Structure 1
Amino acid sequence: MSRLEMNDAFAATVAAVAPVILLVAVVEINNHRKHVGRVYEGLERRMAAAASLYAAGAQPTREQVLAADDALPEYSVLSWRDLSILVYVVSAMLACAALVYAEVSALHWLGTPKAGPDPRLAEHCFAAVVFGFVWICLSPALAMYPMLLKPRWLSPATIPKMSRFDRDVRRYRQEVADEAENARRADE
């Protein structure tokens, strides 16, 4: 890569482009804010229900498990689509920080009398603007596609309870469906 140098035109371009990219990034982040909140709230409620149903090794009845499942939003702990949120949030924070850095640096350089070419600053500003631009282009994918995540409230103790809860829900729903089918056949 060729050596970049700060000059008036480059610094002015960075000072003009960085806030535009930052504004688009903030709008993109805000568009996903409500979804992020719903995902965390739904998963926290499901985890709390599973933890309380299976507390101290308890075996809840079919009716208790199905009632708890009916009261919760539809959600799976292994929904990779929603587990990409951590990567999305961290990358959004990094993009915003890089763009703010580029903006402030370019403005500082422009305001410094007889500022030199400062190749390092030019490269940092260039990298920040490119990172911000790439983030804007990729952020919808980051918000939608799977990335690994281990939430702070997901402990090794809750995973078996959540798995057991989901297994019991599937088993009990099948039992209810089978009973309804048998009752229908008996009525015929």
Structure 2
Amino acid sequence: MKKIVLSLVALVSFGLANAQMKERGVIEITPKIGTSSFAEYDDDGSTKSNSGVEFGVTTDYYFNNRWSLRSGLIFDKMGGKYENGDPFLWEDQLNYLSVPVNANWHFGSTRKWNLNFGLTPSFLLSAKVNDQKVPDNLIETFQLGLTFGIGYKIEITEKFGLLIDAQWFNGLTNINNGPDNRNITNGGFSFNLGGVIHL
């Protein structure tokens, strides 16, 4: 355990020592993978949350050393778990391709911290309930969400670093296209680890 703690301290110290300020036009690409937890929300409350794997790639285009525009392609598992008054549960398994469009504010003396916020359109790739396909007309194929997050970057070299971040998604549009006309939205968060490649 002591060796792990010392290694982490050394890694952070090395990253601080190699801090590089960004100029206009700098591009960073970040492949990342993480774990997510999502639920569905309606007027009566929320479902139990499900869990899944989130992965994809984001790109930051820097306007100066404080601000960048972040976008990319992210595979998200959303949906939720429903309880029927007894131990029986059924789970909506909704897989989306999300395209975040976020302003990203880099702060701290070495600009290693970031806060990002913006809108994310998501496109439904597949919909299942307990591994059974849902009819195509019951779930809207498009949703729009408000996204925000915080992250910390550890620079290993001038061209490569590690990003640890947490992201939140709040659905703004109804995903339900069923006959009951309920307003249902997705909401949840993910915790991710990525490799930052400075082009």
TM range (shorter): under 0.3
Task: Provide the TM-score with structure 2 as the length reference.
Answer: 0.20
Which structure has the higher relative contact order (CA within 8 Å, separation 6+)? Answer: 1
Q: Which has the higher helix share?
A: 1
Task: Provide the TM-score with structure 1 as the length reference.
Answer: 0.21
